[in-house]
Structure 1
Amino acid sequence: MSEIVVKESIRGKKKRLGKMTSQGWVWFIFLLPTLLGIGLFTLYPMLESFRLSFTRGAEERYVGLENYRYVLTSGSFRQAIFNTFYIAFFQLLIVIPSGFIIACLIQSLRRGKNFFKILFYIPNITSMVAAATVFLVVLHPQGLLNYALSFFGIPETIWLANPTSARWSVILLASWHTLGFGIIINLANLQAISPDYYEAASIDGASRFKQWLYITVPNMLGSITILVILGWIDGLQRFTEAFMLGGHTGSPVRSLYTLVGFIYERGFGGLEYGVASAASYLLLVLILIFTFINIKFFRMKI
């Protein structure tokens, strides 16, 4: 009798194993298109770009590390690094604190939270090309900004002709476009903070400002870390805003010439695919370095 039970148990396990195996193959079939897409459109271009970074010319002549040496010693590449870091740093300096403060204000409302969430998030889903076109109209010498400033006696200014004002135009455009994302992330984290903390602090006599300073702020370091890391990754890859306001040369005097702009100009403008590929991998290294630094820094704070 026991032998029959054992045989039935083994037979049942084999059936379940066969069923699980067949189900596993079904899931693999569903994943196959995605895996093929990643392989063809992500992994293969990355490997091909890495190979091209060691070649030069239409005949793809092998030149070793020459392209990397050329990029690192190029004055235009150093200018692109400065512009990219300048724009990314000041944009984060605006977006991170303002996004946190606005999220706190929205969270404190009793009514209308969803309205303000939508209101601030709309720019994030707006096409950057369309938004930049509107900014071009606003910043035009006869545009809305100069028209508004004329009421205060401020003379007409050509905003995109001055390197500093041109950079700040890109900074404000990027800040306006990404602010809503930061607000939504901060709101999600604010809602995850247990109300018991505030109730206990209120019983102990803590003011609302002290509750915000000693409860809200420390509990928001997680979302701030995410926003800083994503902000640097996005900032180091900045292109569309600068291209729309400054063209492919990053005018005026290359003040809007970014790292991706350098890659675009050398790859699609000069057909120097080896140089552009080398610059792409140097950009990847920069992103990895800054991501590692940010993670280490915020891990110590948390």
Structure 2
Amino acid sequence: MPFKKTDLVGYAFVAPMLLGIAVFFLYPMLASFDLSFRNANGAADSARNLNNYAWIVRDPNFWSAVFNTIYMAFLSVVTGLVFPFVLASLINSVRWGKGLFKSVFFLPNIVSVVGTAILFTYIFYPTEQGLMNSIIGWIGFDEIGWFSDPRYSKYSIVLMGLWGSLGYNTIIFLAGLQSVPRDLYEAAEVDGANPVQKWWYITIPYLRAIFVFIIVIGTIGSMKRFGDVWMIGGNAGNPNGSLLTIVLYIYRNAFEAYQIGIGSAAAFLLFVIIMIFSLLNLRIFGKNNVD
């Protein structure tokens, strides 16, 4: 297609955005990639080599962070699919108050990660002063160290993240449910389908694209988990390193130990991990989407 002078107007409009992307995203990314091959400590660096990557793959803390990140990401994606979808189905079935329900369940999404962490610190306080321990103590169970016991800390973080993302995912599912053609349900009723069969054979397949979207976005967001685990477990990812994630590992090396090269190398390993999981999700769940 030949170039036209009138195209210059379009390029002029998009030039500021492209310049901003190049200055604030592309250049820092390339500079960080270059630092990943250097023994950089923030003040000086050495020649390019693979020492940073070799050091990381031999570091047991890195593999512990990878396991914690993937484990919590899996739980977050599963709960972020099941609960919002069921909740959206329930809201969609009511005849009044849909706007109220949407507003109430979406409110936690606008709360910052810091505010959410502070709130759940009181809810999951390890003694009977905490809300959850007060409830289970009233029922007759022993107190649980939600954030202080390595056996429960990951699940507590996942629950805290679910509370924050529940409303957003519910709104996305609700929008998809309201777009399903009514004649599909009417035809299914004529064929004698019950509500569960209509939900399984019509609703879920029709929302396949939304499921894929939430799985991919949820995986990426969970793999980048940092703020909540840092607020709860500190720089070490306590208790006992059970909340150490890859991003927290990057932060510790780059901004506490001042090993910028190691932090940059870990960041690009995280990029590769996220890319692999995203491609796998699209490969497994992205087939035969309903148009």
Q: Provide TM-score, normalisation by structure 2.
A: 0.92
RMSD of aligned Cα (Å): 1.6
Distance 2:282 2:144 in 1: 42
Answer with 279-288 or 185-194: which moved more. Answer: 185-194
1:268 aligns with 2:268: no
Q: Which residue of 2 aligns with 1:214?
A: 201
Q: Which runs of 5+ in 2 are unaligned?
A: none
Q: In structure 2, which of residues 88, 99, 102 is the aligned counterpart of residue 114 of structure 1?
A: 99
Query: Which digits, 9 at most, give the CA deviation of each residue in 1:255-284, with x for residues without a partner?
Result: 000000000000111110100000010000
| Alignment map for 1:85-234 (pairs within 5 Å) | 85-140=70-125, 141=127, 142-234=129-221
| Corresponding residue to 1:81 among 42, 52, 66 | 66
| Structure label with greater radius of gyration | 1
- Secondary structure of the residue that 1:296 maps to in structure 2? helix
Greater shift, 84-93 or 150-159, is seen at 150-159
What is the Cα deviation at residue 106 of structure 1?
1.0
SS of equivalent residue, structure 1 residue 182? helix
Please, which moves more after superposition, 215-224 or 252-261?
A: 215-224
- Which residue number in structure 2 is paired with residue 72 of structure 1? 57
1:53 to 36, 50, 53: 36
Displacement of 1:153? 3.0
- Three-state SS of the structure 2 residue aligned to 1:186 is helix
Q: What is the CA deviation profile of residues 44-68 of structure 1, one whole-angstrom value per residue up to 9, with x for unaligned ones?
A: 1101000000001332102411111
- Three-state SS of the structure 1 residue aligned to 2:147 is helix
**Which structure is higher in helix share?**
1
Aligned residues: 282
The Cα of 1:26 is off from its aligned counterpart by 4.3
> Distance between the aligned counterparts of 2:164 and 2:82, measured in 1?
15
- SS of the residue 1:61 aligns to: coil
Aligned amino acid, residue 74 of structure 1: D
Distance 2:123 2:197 in 1: 41
Aligned mates of 1:247, 1:274 — CA distance in 2: 22
Quote the Cα distance in structure 1 between the aligned partners of 2:144 and 2:276.
39
* Structure 1, 274-283 or 96-105: larger mean CA deviation: 96-105
Superposed displacement of residue 301, structure 1:
5.8
Offset at residue 203 of structure 1 (A): 1.8
In 2: Cα distance, 1:74 partner to 1:286 partner: 17
Amino acid at match of 2:29: M
